[in-house]
Amino acid sequence: MADDTDLDALSECALAEMARVRPVLDKIADKWTILILTVLCPRPARFNAIMRRLDGITHKALADALKRLERNGLVTRTVLPTAPIGVEYAITPLGHSLRQPFEALCTWALDHGAAIEAANHEHDSIKARQ
């Protein structure tokens, strides 16, 4: 019973931590956030330049994502004094700091993606046999 209490305490602590983590992750984790940051990482880019790089993203999705990124302080938005008007988006230090933990996730995905695929196929074949 003493063991149970200890384990409960640990798990409870982790779950309590999650309560603070979740709202943050909800803000940054959408379909395009990471891809946009990847594009902006080497250098700033303009709206249509980003769109050309991200094959498949729609006008609206990019506009929404950039608005959220700007609001969260991960990118900056600068209107250029050109004609016709131009807008340049650049990654902030805060946005840049996100790349390291995200790369840890990427590494995991690259390392274990095959294992997940294998588990999928095994699971499916077992179900098919039944």
Partner DNA sequence: CGGTATCCTTTCGGATACTG
Partner DNA sequence: CAGTATCCGAAAGGATACCG
Strand 86-91 and strand 45-46: the pairing is antiparallel
Please, where are the H alpha helices in the chain?
Answer: 2-28, 33-40, 47-53, 59-71, 93-97, 99-129
Among candidate residues 74, 26, 75, the one with its CA nearest the CA of residue 46 = 75
Q: Minimum distance from CB of 59 to a second copy (Å)?
A: 19
Residues contributing to the site for DNA (CB under 7 A): 30-31, 46-49, 56-61, 63-64, 66-67, 77, 84-87
Q: Minimum distance from CB of 5 to a second copy (Å)?
A: 11
- The amino acid present at 10, given as its one-letter code, is L
**Exactly one of 1, 2, 100, 130 binds a second copy (CB under 8 A); which one?**
100
Tokens of 54: 């991200």
> Of a second copy, DNA, none, which one sits near residue 107, judging by CB under 5 to 8 A according to partner kind?
a second copy
**Exactly one of 47, 53, 61, 88 binds a second copy (CB under 8 A); which one?**
53
Q: Minimum distance from CB of 109 to a second copy (Å)?
A: 4
